[in-house]
Amino acid sequence: MPESDRKTRVGQAYVRLKEEIRSNRMPAEFQATEPEIAKILGMSRTPVREALIRLQAEGLVQLVPRRGARVLPLKIRDLTEIYEILLTLEPEAAGALARRRLTAAELQPFEDAMTRMEEAIFHDLDAWALADDDFHTSILELHGNRRMLTMVSGLYDQAYRARTITLHMREPPVQSNHEHREVLRHIVAGDVEAARRSCRAHRERTSAELIALLEKFQLGQL
């Protein structure tokens, strides 16, 4: 097989497996052998094996000798540390975007994500979660620091897993939509401090809510 084809198949297996884990279709403690996983994906074992090695490096799975792979559970301590990092980086990135005064084309991903969130909020929370993820990812993508985006993308995956678990345990995230609009409004207005402040306040509120719900879920109280 040509090297380019091999990399393509590994990449496909990686993307599909990551989405199965992120969306909790392969939930925490799910375990299967490589042949079983390959059968689920309709792929051969070799790209699946290489994709699992990548996912283990990102902390999403554990490879167990002769038993395949196990999806690692979300730990409250890990999630708390993840949000501490996001609370540091995201507000600064939002402030940097406000300072730049983005063009209409650069602002379009935010508007698209907001439209999808507002359309989905009362009837498709899974679609809402994807749009929410796109909104936050756009902040760092437009900031332009490639190393920061690469580092944070793995953290977003873990935060997305937690959000998917807890999303149906709470009221529709109307307040989050309002807060997203507020962050975007300050970015458009070029108000650096307000963009930082509103982005941080949003992350602080939602992370505290999510962690509290996840704690109850793991204790069997929900």
Task: Give me the domains of the chain, ranges plus CATH numbers.
Answer: 3-71 (1.10.10.10), 76-218 (1.20.120.530)
Residue with tokens 């005064």: 101
Query: Which of the four pLDDT bands, split at 50, 70 and 90, describes residue 6?
Result: low
Q: pLDDT exceeding 90 applies to what percent of the chain?
A: 64
Average pLDDT in the 46-60 region? 91
72 DSSP assignment:
P
pLDDT tens for residues 74-92?
889 989 999 999 999 999 9
The pTM (predicted TM-score) of the whole model is: 0.83
Query: Which of the four pLDDT bands, split at 50, 70 and 90, describes residue 195?
Result: very high
Say yes or no to pLDDT of 217 above 80: no
**In angstroms, rounded to a whole number, what is the distance separating the alpha carbons of residues 133 and 90?**
13
Phi, psi of 68 (to 5 degrees): 90, -130
DSSP for 83-125 reads HHHHHHHHHHHHHHHHHH---HHHHHHHHHHHHHHHHHTTT-H
The encoded tokens of residue 83 equal: 């949000």
13: left (phi over 0), alpha (psi -120 to 50) or beta: alpha
**In angstroms, rounded to a whole number, what is the distance separating the alpha carbons of residues 209 and 200?**
14
Q: What is the pLDDT of residue 59?
A: 85
Phi, psi of 101 (to 5 degrees): 60, 80
- Provide CB contacts within 8 A for 201, sequence distance 6+: 179
Query: Which of the four pLDDT bands, split at 50, 70 and 90, describes residue 187?
Result: very high
pLDDT tens for residues 133-166?
999 999 999 998 888 888 888 888 888 888 888 8
